[in-house]
Amino acid sequence: MNLHKHARLTPRGRALLVQRMLDGLRVEDAAQAAGISVRTAYKWLRRFREEGEAGLMDRRHVRI
């Protein structure tokens, strides 16, 4: 798997996080269980809603 070095969750872990939130788990509780911030949990939920599973994949970062 090609995971960047600072990622706490893999795309599979992000999908599990989002599924838990969609199933009714509070965002705060899902974030705590995953070891991420509430802000990051909302980011993954937003990306999933906007882009589907593709939004949960790692994005390329270009250093300038």
> What is the torsional sign of CA 2, 63, 57, 23?
positive
Alpha carbons 64 and 62: distance in angstroms, whole number: 6
Whether the full predicted model's pTM is greater than 0.95, yes or no, is no
- For the chain, which residues make up each domain, given as ranges? 11-56
Of 61 and 24, the structure prediction assigns the larger pLDDT to 24
Tell me the HSE value of 47 on the side-chain side, using a 13 A CA sphere.
Answer: 18
- Report the residue count for the chain: 64
**11-29: per-residue pLDDT in tens?**
999 999 999 999 999 999 9
**Structure tokens given for 22:** 């969609």
**25-60: per-residue pLDDT in tens?**
999 999 999 999 999 999 999 999 999 999 999 887
